[in-house]
Amino acid sequence: MLVYLVRRLGQSLLAIVAMAVLVFAGVYAIGNPVDVLINPEATQAEIAATMQRLGLDRPLYEQFGIFVMNALQGDLGTSFVYGRPALAIIMERLPATMELALVALFLSVAIGIPLGVWAGLRPDSIAGRTIMGGSILGFSLPNFWQGMLLILVFAVLLGWLPAGGRGETTEFLGLQVSFLTWDGLTHLILPAINLALFKMSLIIRLARANTREVSLQDYVKFARAKGLSGRRVVMVHILKNIMIPVVTIIGLELGSMVAFAIVTETVFAWPGMGKLLIDSINLLDRPVIVAYLMLTVLIIVSINLLVDVIYSLLDPRIRLSEMKG
């Protein structure tokens, strides 16, 4: 297990280094870093000072070293717009995005798995077909378009829920969260559903396909032949088997949720780091873009690592073969 963990950790580090090289290449090697990293309105003296600080007058490999050293110390540049360290600005927005992504993930799992298992157990029933039809729709409707429809129906036509913003927040474990205040919760519902729908469709389809496959297995029939209740057969024998692929996908999709939050945050004006990214792109605030990219890569790689560890805990076969390997 330890060998496996260490090797997996090595792979993750490799991924981060690879992305760092790509970002560095994109910013320093392809573009002109002076344009990219230094505020166009800076004075000549400021430009000279920044160039020296970033080592832009040195050879490329030394520049990369400085970039990495700065990044390791959390210095990913200074925002042109806010005049503060880019990473700090992003970190302020991180809780809002993580709250949105986690609530959406919770919704997609809590609704998606039961629906998918149901559709998988009764693939030819009306309910099963309806669930599948709905999931094709959830799959096909682009995220931003779903969000706009939600706003159109629930905010504009019905007026039940606010169309955007985060609402009132309160402190929870030292972070500002929305879901604990009534106002915050009403603001959270639509964006969370929006972000959840696509993943929910994905989980429904995956859970359904796996349920169908698993329920045809001999061990499910054997479990029934042992006289177990239908409930135990589904909740233990089927569910535990489908959880392996489902957890993998859920984990990988949490990363993509952080990315897709860019769209939802833009549609619902949710003040997270995705909205910040789009604003920064429009304002050409490149240090913030770089910082966003590096932080997101770090988050996604960490999630992938975590998923693999959970995966190996869930599936005894993997655990064994990896331990041997």
Partner 1 sequence: MSKLLEINDLQTHFHTRDGVAKAVDGVTFSLDRGEILGLVGESGSGKSVTGFSILGLVDPPGRIAGGRIVFDGDDLVAGGEPMLRGLRGKRIAMIFQDPMMTLNPVLRIDTQMVETVLAHERVPRSEALARARAALVQVGISAPDERLRSYPHQFSGGMRQRVAIAIALLHKPDLIIADEPTTALDVTIQAQILSEVQSLCAQSGTALIWITHDLAVVSGLADRLAVMYAGRIIEEGPTASVIANPRHPYTRGLIDSVPKGKQHGRMLSQIKGMTPSLLHLPEGCKFAPRCPRADAACRSEPALTPTGDDRSIRCHHPHEDAERVHAP
Partner 2 sequence: MSQTTANAPVRVDSPARRILRQFMEDPVAVIGLILFVAIAALAIAAPWIAPQNPYDLTQLDIMDSALPPGEVSFGSGQTYWLGTDRQGRDMLSGILYGLRISLLVASVSLGLAITIGTIVGVTAAYFGGRLDSFIMRIVDLQLSFPAILIALILLALLGRGVDKVILALVIVQWAYYARTVRSSAIVERRKDYIDAARCLALSDRRIMFRHLLPNCVPPLIVVATVQIAQAIALEATLSFLGVGVPITEPSLGLLIANGYDYLLSGSYWISLFPGIALVVTIVAINLVGDRLRDVLNPRLQK
Q: How far is Cα 28 from Cα 144, in angstroms, rounded to an integer?
A: 33
Q: How far is Cα 294 from Cα 34, in angstroms, rounded to an integer?
A: 20
Residues 210-229 that bind partner 1 (CB under 8 A): 216-229
Tokens of 316: 């005894």
Q: Does 197 bind partner 2 (CB under 8 A)?
A: no
Q: How far is the CB of 324 from partner 1 (least distance, A)?
A: 12
Residues 278-317 that bind partner 1 (CB under 8 A): 314-317
Q: How far is Cα 300 from Cα 319, in angstroms, rounded to an integer?
A: 23
User: Which position among 37, 71, 109, 151 is part of the footprint of partner 2 (CB under 8 A)?
Assistant: 151
Q: How far is Cα 18 from Cα 294, in angstroms, rounded to an integer?
A: 11
Q: How far is Cα 112 from Cα 142, in angstroms, rounded to an integer?
A: 18
Show the 3-state SS of 102-152. HHHHHHHHHHHHHHHHHHHHCCCCHHHHHHHHHHHHHHHCCHHHHHHHHHH
Report what 266 binds from partner 1, partner 2, none; CB cut-off 5-8 Å by kind: partner 2
Report what 218 binds from partner 1, partner 2, none; CB cut-off 5-8 Å by kind: partner 1
> What single DSSP character describes residue 41?
T
> Pattern of binders to partner 1 over 231-270, x per CB under 8 A?
-x---xx--xx--x--------------------------
User: Which pairing describes strands 175-177 and 170-172: parallel, antiparallel, or unpaired?
Assistant: antiparallel
Report what 236 binds from partner 1, partner 2, none; CB cut-off 5-8 Å by kind: partner 1
Report what 216 binds from partner 1, partner 2, none; CB cut-off 5-8 Å by kind: partner 1
Residues 202-261 that bind partner 2 (CB under 8 A): 252, 255-256, 259-260
Number of H helices, E strands in the chain: 14, 2
User: Which position among 85, 297, 312, 322 is part of the footprint of partner 2 (CB under 8 A)?
Assistant: 297
Q: How far is Cα 83 from Cα 26, in angstroms, rounded to an integer?
A: 23
Q: How far is Cα 224 from Cα 121, in angstroms, rounded to an integer?
A: 14
> Pattern of binders to partner 2 over 2-31, x per CB under 8 A?
-------------x--xx------xx--xx
Residues contributing to the site for partner 2 (CB under 8 A): 15, 18-19, 26-27, 30-31, 136-137, 139-145, 148-149, 151-152, 155-156, 163, 252, 255-256, 259-260, 262-263, 266, 277-278, 281-282, 289, 293, 296-297, 300-301, 304
